[in-house]
Each structure stands twice: as C-alpha cells, then as structure tokens.
Structure 1
Amino acid sequence: MDLQKFVLNYKNDVVKSIQESVRIKSVQEDPKEGMPFGEGPAKALEHMLNLGKNLGFKVENFDNYAGHIDFGDGPDEEMIGILGHVDVVPEGKGWDYPPYEAKIVDGKLYGRGVLDDKGPTIAALYALKAIKDSGVKLNRKVRVIVGANEETGWGCMNHYFGELKMPQPAMAFTPDSTFPVTYAEKGILHLSLTKEYNDKLDFIIKGGVAFNSVPDSAIGIFPLSLKNEIDLNLEKYNEEKEFKITSVEKEGKIELLSLGKASHGARPSNGYNAITALFEFLSTLKIEDKKLKNLVEFFNEYVGMEYSGKKLGINFKDEPSGELTLTVGKIECEDNKIMFGFDIRYPVTYKKDQVINEVEKRAKTKGMDITIRSAKNPLYVPKDSFLVTTLMDIYKDITGDIDAEPVSIGGGTYARAVNNGVAFGALLKDQEDNMHQKNEYLELDKLDTWLKIYVQAIYNLAK
C-alpha cells in the first residue's frame, strides 16, 4: 500500500472539514456552564471530536477543556500522540474576506485558524483515517489530543494532563509550527505591568488584542492642550515612516491613531508595533501632565522600538535557540489605571526568574507592579533523538529539501505539554506565515504535501 498516494483521496474531505471548523468562531470568551472557555471553543472542540467519531475513531470529551481521538491498541505508555488546538486568536480588522466564512479564492482558503491550528490538526486526523482505511497494521496506539485554550493560557492541557492525570504519550508531535522539525522552543512569559492612581487619568491609550500578537493599531485620546505640540511634530515624525500616525480633533479631545502591521508575538520583527510607534511619537512632545510624562519616559527608557529586551536588561541569547524577543502586545490606560502587556520569549538555557527579576527592577523605578499572567518553560529535544531524526528523514524524503536542519523557535506549542514532543509543521518553507494576522490563508495545493508527510510520520512512529 502506497500510503502517500492513498491519503490524497481524502483531500476534498479535508477542505470541507476545515471550512466547517473555521466557520465556528472559537475565540476565548467568558465561561458558561460546562464551557470553561466560552461557547465558541466548546463548539469547535465538539466539531473536532464529532469529526473523529464520524471517521470511525473512539473519542472522549473532557469537560470541554480538551478531548482525544484514539486509533489502535497497545499500552498507553507506548502510544504516539498528536496534539492540536481548536481555539484561535481574535480576528482583528482589515480582512479582504470574512474571517469566519472560510471562502476559497484563487486556490486559497481564507479564515482564522486555517494555519493555526484547525487546518493542520484536521489534516493529521485524515492522515490517521487513511492509515485506518488502508488496513496497514500499527503496533502502537495513536491518540490525537485536542485542546480548546492554547492561545490564551493552556487551561486545556493543565486540565487534561494536570488535573486529570491523563497518560503521557511515549512520543508526540504537534502540527502547529513550521517544517522541518522544531527541536527547541523558547520559554514564554506573559507579564503585565500595572499602576493605579487615586484620581482619574486625563488621557486614554488603548491598543492590541492579545499579549502574543504584535498590534496593528493603537489609539490615544488626549486633552486639547496637547494639540499644538502634536500638530508641530506629527508631520515631521511621519516623513520617513511606512506606517503613519494620524490625528483628529473629536469631542473636545485630540485623538491619535497609530497603525502598524500585525504578526505573531514569537516573531515581532515580522510586524510593526503600533503601540511602540505611538510612544515613540509621544516622546517627541513636551508633555506637562505628570502621569503621561512618567509613562512615556518609562516606555522610552526601558522598551522603545527594539524587540530584543536590551533596555530592560534581558537581551539574553544562547546557541540552541538564539536571542530573546520582547513584544508589547497590549496596553490599557483608562480611568485610574495603566497596564502594559508583555510577551517575552527567552532562550532555552535561561530561567524565567532571570527575566522576571530584571524586568521587576526597572518597573519599580516608576512604581509599577509586575504580574505573571502565564509562564511556560522552554522545550529542548536533542537533534540526534529518534523522534527528531525520524521526522527529519520523512520531511527530507517527501519535500526534497535534503539540506534542511531542525530549527528552534520563539513560538510555544503543545510539544512542551508532553515529556517527549516536538512541533512538526505544518507551514512549509514556501508558504507565507500569516498566523495571527489578517487574511490568514491556506494554499490548497499545500495540503498534498501536508497529508503525505503526516501519514508517513504517523506510520513510521507507530509501526
């Protein structure tokens, strides 16, 4: 049986199933009874598990936190795991096609989650279906583990592996990154810096939709007393900028709109941060308001436009995973409170406390409190391990990319939820990486390669 040829028979079904899943808006919301992450993620999880059931697999839902889809027999301690997630980041603005319509245009399927991570998870599930239907015998159980809270806290995996103590697979991969194999993932810290005042702020600054996304817009609303300063400096500031800041007088206030380019928080250099741009402009103004002045000074001194964390004293780097990255993903300054949201990806040989201590020292200089919103330890699987070498060989054989090497990333995947796991695809080298951005799309002809790789990966690991 030529599995790589056989699996392509399922391509049309894969496309339809991805479309069905994308049409479920699965951004985290306030919890409801029996829906810990809101209605959308619960419905998306139900869809994925029903798909698994309809394809002939055993499925189980664990309180709408997570679920799994099983094929084959064998002891749990020897099973192969495939981990995917059905939740998505907020869609943002500026899409050419509705983000939850799953429209196909010129061979591209547009929609939030087609790359991250509904599309790849469904492709892997159909690869398992092809193995089931082929009659090829596997010696290990294969379990597809599906979570509903990967983007905003990992409560799904904490519940599944932590509270429920579900068994760890012997080996696992998650199709939630890029090809070839990701053997190292930086540690991830989401920190908020906050400060509260006794009286109300005379300004409002808002920007960003999630800590782990580079924001493509930010807005500042200020008293008219700043209008002359803004008018004097804005044209000069915008002269050499690709992404502009605009001003308008509205309802007795002066309003600034900063535009940028969104990207995943793990790759801030791929975007242009509208929040940091707004503060860069504010630093050119003579500001009398003490609260605003202190805020701008703090930002300029310790953050600025760079994303290495150098001004905060955290520009760490190492050989396996490279340099630390820093993203200001969110800001909320309103009423009597200021809040910055930082996404920090630190190298695998460093500890989170080394990062936190340096940030805290500098935050205290402006009376800011630091809160750890979430923390994920680094992942590191040796390049010469059976898991990495097996998957690398499959990738090279199918793509012809014989010079490829395992990679390290700043992104955080479910691979670090298991004891022996790596990220494996699904983004190919010639695919545009627009995860977490507007117009997220999947070129349908890439599904052929995805399916071939995943069916061979499952077979080689589980045979």
Structure 2
Amino acid sequence: MIDEQFKQNVDTFVDEVWEDVVADIRRLVRIRSVEDRTAAKPGMPWGPASHEALVVGLGIADRLGLDAHECEGYLGYADLIGESDKQIATIAHTDVVPEGLGWTFPPFDVSRKEGCLVGRGVLDDKGPCVLSLYAAHYFAREVQRTGKKLPYTLRCIVGNNEETSMKDLDWYLERYPMPEFAFSPDAEFPLICGEKGLYSGTFCSGKIAGGIIVELDGGTVGNAIPGRATAVVRRVASELPEADNIDIEAAGDSQALITAHGKGGHASMPAGTVNAIALLVDYLLEQNLCSDEERVFLEMERILLATTDGSSVGIASEDDKFGPLTLIGGTVRTENGCFVQTVDSRFPTSTTGESITETLSTFGAKYGCSYAEGRNVTPFYVDPELPEIRCLLDTYEEYSGREGKAFTIGGGTYARHFARGAAFGPWDPADPVPEWAGPEHGPDEAIPEASLKRALKIYIVSIARLMELEL
C-alpha cells in the first residue's frame, strides 16, 4: 500500500543514502568508458574501459544487496528475487560518448557547483544507472527487514553499449526472457512513449591526391553535432583572412591549420546548434582553399549541411506522432586520400530508412561520392494509456506538480527494444539550471542534484506501484 507513511520512508531513505549515491556516481564517471572495439577481447566486446565501468556498476549492485551477474562482458544485471519469475525491469548504461572539446570542468570526475553535479555521464547515463540500483536497494532493505518478497522479480539491467549500437541488448534478449515491463532512466520526464527511427550513413569521395587540402578532421562521434572542425591547407597562414568563429595558425612549411568553432549538441536535437563542419566548409569555399576536385566535395557538403531537417537533400518528412525528420553531419575525416562524411538521421513513420538510403545515394553520386547505409532502425511507439505507463506518469505528476503527459523524441534509448517499455527521466526540462550547465553529449554535462533526488523518489514509488499491478 503506497500511503503517506511509505512516501515519508522513501524521503528519509533518499536523504540517508544521498552522499553514497554521489560517491558511486563519481566511481563510474572517473572511468572513461568509451567504446573501443579495436581493444576488444573475449569477455570485453566493447573494450577494456567499457568493461571496467560494467564491473564497477555491478560491484555497486552487489554491495547494495542485489544478486549481480555479468553476461560475458556484453552487459550485466542485478536481481531482487520476487514471489514470481515475472520481471519488472529497469535498464540503464555505463558507457559514454567521448568527452569532446569545450569543458571547463574535469570531464571524468564529478564536480559540484551551484547545486549541480558535473561530469561526463552524470546525466547520460551513469547518474541514472546509480539511481536505478539505489531504487532497488530500497526494496532489498525492506525485504531483509520484513522477510516478505516483492510480488515480481525486480531486475536492474546494466547496459554497456547503448551509445553506439545497443548490440549488448540484442545479445541479451536473444538469451534472457523479456520483462513484463521495463523503463529506462535515460531521458526526460514526464515520459517518452515513442522514439523516431535511427539512421546513419557515410559519404566517401574518390581519391583526391595532391590538392590544396591536406586533411579534414571534424567531430568526435557520428551522433552529435560537432562543435569543432579543422582543415590543414597548403597555404601560408599569415596570408589567410580572419573570419568569425575561425582560427588560423601556421602548421609547418607553407601550411595553415584552420579551426572552425561551432556549437555542438545531440544529433536528435539540432535546434540551436551550429555545425562546425559547415562553418569550415564555407570558409574553404569562400577563400578558394580547394582544388577543382576538392571543390566538388565541399559543394556537396555545403548543401548537405545547409539544413537539419533533410530538406536540402530531399528527405524532409514528418508525421503527427514524431514531428519532422532530422539529418545532421557528425564527422568528417581524410582517410586513404578520400574525404569521408558521416550523417545521422532520426526519422518519423512517414518515411523509411530504405527511402532515405535511396535518396542520399543518388544525391552523393551527383558529386562523385559513394554512399553506404549504416544503422537503420524503425520507429518505436507504445500506447501511453497502458496501465504501466499511467502508473509512471501519475507518480511523476504527484512529485513534480506538473502534468504527466507522454511524448516522443528523436533520440534512441533501450526502451525501444521492449514489448512494453518507456524512457522515464531523470531530467525534467521544467527544472531551472545555471547557464553554464551543459547537456548530455555536450561539454560540462550537468544536472541539478535536486532533480536526481526527486527522480530517485519517483523511481522507488513507481516500482512499488508497478508491483501492485496485475501483469
């Protein structure tokens, strides 16, 4: 029975364990758990650093009284065994995107400032992962105190490959039972009931040898708008004109390093960002810093990066559930004498990945570029009136005082892999944050401690209410 006494007990618990929560978040954040498949080994499919974070995360679960298991290094889970084998699950992840540029705080530590935690992963998703384990810890203590099991098994899945391909969860669901219901604390409140399709691809020029451009290098990962991009060109730096958001310096004998500074962000939310590759391309074209062959590629880049809704290349689309498609250029590199540009799209139900591939292939061919499709994942949507979803939304309303209305996003979370699932917090866009606080995937990633504390309470009460449903 979820009454006022129960909620007071939850408040007391959160206050009691909070410094331990922060300390455990710090333990995870201090590990630079970026996927590195070049260093993969048996039992470490995503690389040693990612595996280290998984081991630490499962160690936290074990210390908190859960039955923790590592699954051949792909991911892990920690159980609180219930009266039934049916599972209610949470799923978070311990891998992160690279730090990128522009940090004013140490990216791989947890700093405290103006009531916020700062560090890569405090929001996405190491902080929420620790919250899910402490939510289960609350019930583990209650079971130990009363001797009475929960109606269903509570499973905390600890993912390790969410930021790149989610192959860890594909592996898991081929071998383990589907939970009756799962939520992922890896997004925003109130609740995400749908996610756009996930799409990526790569343009590659032919070999361009002996031109003016020695090297192009922009962005860190394909699923983020780059805040920085560089070009090394065969020109004397002192002879190149200044421009807004462009730095120029000498780079050896009669060569110049040109650096463009944009405003980065998550690929699914391009509004307000400035793609540094686009700024660099404009400067190179305007100053004629390219051979005729290189100009063809740069002209393609200019068109490709001119919009973020796909309209400049003919793939714009929208529907009533998800809104408009997004398309961004994430990274550009010089590889084996060729220029290689990656793209990331989040698409609604009004188009398909196959249609996007066809259009982008035709577009690239006009400029002498080959095109290869990467991931192509269909949109995900769950009925927001499901009893489990209403349970979560009602609890959010109770704790936030705001309307609990489900919505859809362009990002991708583990929730899309479950028959009945959703992404649920911990960040609430209605909460005030300092101007300096950065977003997930951006520099100075931060979240107010008060938001995390409230989220932990919401998770505990939501799980208690899910346990009362007939599943």
Structure 1 residues without counterparts, runs of 5 or longer: 239-243
Which residue of the other structure, out of 196, 199, 204, is the alignment partner of 2:206?
196
1:72 aligns with 2:73: no
Which residue of the other structure, out of 173, 184, 187, is the alignment partner of 1:177?
187
Structure 2 residues without counterparts, runs of 5 or longer: none
- TM-score relative to the length of structure 1: 0.92
1:41 aligns with 2:31: no
1:107 aligns with 2:93: no
Contact 1:216 1:273 (C-alpha < 8 Å) held by counterparts: yes
Contact 2:67 2:78 (C-alpha < 8 Å) held by counterparts: yes
| Residues in 2 aligned to 1:313 and 1:270: alpha-carbon distance in whole angstroms | 22
Q: What is the aligned-residue identity percentage?
A: 29
| Residues in 1 aligned to 2:349 and 2:141: alpha-carbon distance in whole angstroms | 41
| Residues in 2 aligned to 1:54 and 1:431: alpha-carbon distance in whole angstroms | 34
Deviates more, 1:427-436 or 1:414-423: 427-436
Q: Name the structure 2 match of 1:341.
A: 342
- Name the aligned partner's letter for residue 283 of structure 1: L
Q: Name the structure 1 match of 2:6.
A: 2
Contact 1:201 1:336 (C-alpha < 8 Å) held by counterparts: no
1:220 aligns with 2:228: no
CA-CA distance at 1:96 after TM superposition? 1.6
- Name the aligned partner's letter for residue 278 of structure 2: T
What is the root-mean-square deviation in Å for CA atoms of aligned residues? 2.0
| Residues in 2 aligned to 1:431 and 1:34: alpha-carbon distance in whole angstroms | 42
CA-CA distance at 1:60 after TM superposition? 1.1
1:412 aligns with 2:412: yes
CA-CA distance at 1:158 after TM superposition? 2.1
| Residues in 1 aligned to 2:33 and 2:237: alpha-carbon distance in whole angstroms | 41
When residues 37 and 82 of structure 1 are mapped into structure 2, their CA distance, relative to the original with a 3 A threshold, is same
| Residues in 1 aligned to 2:249 and 2:95: alpha-carbon distance in whole angstroms | 37
1:356 aligns with 2:357: yes
Contact 1:86 1:146 (C-alpha < 8 Å) held by counterparts: yes
Contact 1:348 1:379 (C-alpha < 8 Å) held by counterparts: no
| Residues in 1 aligned to 2:290 and 2:121: alpha-carbon distance in whole angstroms | 45
| Residues in 2 aligned to 1:362 and 1:25: alpha-carbon distance in whole angstroms | 38
- TM-score relative to the length of structure 2: 0.90
Q: Name the structure 2 match of 1:94.
A: 102
CA-CA distance at 1:159 after TM superposition? 1.7
| Residues in 1 aligned to 2:227 and 2:13: alpha-carbon distance in whole angstroms | 39
Aligned 1:45-64 pairs, distance under 5 A:
45-64=54-73
When residues 88 and 221 of structure 1 are mapped into structure 2, their CA distance, relative to the original with a 3 A threshold, is same
What do the CA deviations read for 1:300-332 (whole angstroms, capped 9, x no partner)? 23x133211101111111110111111111000
CA-CA distance at 1:202 after TM superposition? 4.0
CA-CA distance at 1:427 after TM superposition? 0.6
When residues 366 and 225 of structure 1 are mapped into structure 2, their CA distance, relative to the original with a 3 A threshold, is farther
Question: Secondary structure at 1:269's aligned position in 2?
Answer: coil
- Name the aligned partner's letter for residue 158 of structure 2: V
Contact 2:332 2:341 (C-alpha < 8 Å) held by counterparts: yes
Q: Name the structure 2 match of 1:436.
A: 441
CA-CA distance at 1:255 after TM superposition? 2.2
CA-CA distance at 1:69 after TM superposition? 0.7
| Residues in 1 aligned to 2:107 and 2:29: alpha-carbon distance in whole angstroms | 8
- Name the aligned partner's letter for residue 330 of structure 2: G
- Name the aligned partner's letter for residue 153 of structure 2: K
| Residues in 2 aligned to 1:261 and 1:286: alpha-carbon distance in whole angstroms | 25
Contact 1:214 1:265 (C-alpha < 8 Å) held by counterparts: yes
Aligned 1:232-381 pairs, distance under 5 A:
234-235=242-243, 238=244, 244-251=245-252, 252-286=254-288, 289-301=291-303, 303-381=304-382
| Residues in 1 aligned to 2:313 and 2:238: alpha-carbon distance in whole angstroms | 31
Deviates more, 1:137-146 or 1:184-193: 137-146
CA-CA distance at 1:102 after TM superposition? 1.6
Q: Name the structure 1 match of 2:423.
A: 423
Contact 2:306 2:312 (C-alpha < 8 Å) held by counterparts: no
Q: Name the structure 1 match of 2:462.
A: 457
Aligned 1:3-18 pairs, distance under 5 A:
3=7, 4-8=10-14, 9-18=16-25
| Residues in 2 aligned to 1:200 and 1:373: alpha-carbon distance in whole angstroms | 30
When residues 414 and 288 of structure 1 are mapped into structure 2, their CA distance, relative to the original with a 3 A threshold, is closer
- Name the aligned partner's letter for residue 183 of structure 1: C
What do the CA deviations read for 1:393-437 (whole angstroms, capped 9, x no partner)? 1111111003x4211111100001212111000111215561011
| Residues in 2 aligned to 1:443 and 1:259: alpha-carbon distance in whole angstroms | 28
When residues 347 and 191 of structure 1 are mapped into structure 2, their CA distance, relative to the original with a 3 A threshold, is same
When residues 287 and 207 of structure 1 are mapped into structure 2, their CA distance, relative to the original with a 3 A threshold, is closer
Instruction: For CA contacts below 8 A with separation 6 or more, give which structure has more relative contact order.
Output: 1
What do the CA deviations read for 1:354-397 (whole angstroms, capped 9, x no partner)? 22111111112122222223232211011222232221111111
Question: Secondary structure at 1:79's aligned position in 2?
Answer: strand
Which residue of the other structure, out of 75, 84, 87, is the alignment partner of 2:92?
84
Contact 2:84 2:151 (C-alpha < 8 Å) held by counterparts: no
| Residues in 2 aligned to 1:87 and 1:200: alpha-carbon distance in whole angstroms | 40
Contact 2:201 2:343 (C-alpha < 8 Å) held by counterparts: yes
Contact 1:183 1:407 (C-alpha < 8 Å) held by counterparts: yes
Contact 1:215 1:262 (C-alpha < 8 Å) held by counterparts: yes
CA-CA distance at 1:121 after TM superposition? 1.3
Q: Name the structure 2 match of 1:241.
A: none
- Name the aligned partner's letter for residue 157 of structure 2: I
Contact 2:150 2:467 (C-alpha < 8 Å) held by counterparts: yes
Aligned 1:104-183 pairs, distance under 5 A:
104-135=112-143, 137-162=149-174, 165-183=175-193
| Residues in 2 aligned to 1:349 and 1:168: alpha-carbon distance in whole angstroms | 29
CA-CA distance at 1:94 after TM superposition? 2.6
1:397 aligns with 2:398: yes
When residues 227 and 367 of structure 1 are mapped into structure 2, their CA distance, relative to the original with a 3 A threshold, is farther
What do the CA deviations read for 1:189-242 (whole angstroms, capped 9, x no partner)? 1211112317455411110000011111000111228986x52xx54xx3xxxx
What do the CA deviations read for 1:171-205 (whole angstroms, capped 9, x no partner)? 11100010011011001112111123174554111
Question: Secondary structure at 1:345's aligned position in 2?
Answer: strand
Contact 2:66 2:140 (C-alpha < 8 Å) held by counterparts: no
Question: Secondary structure at 1:224's aligned position in 2?
Answer: coil
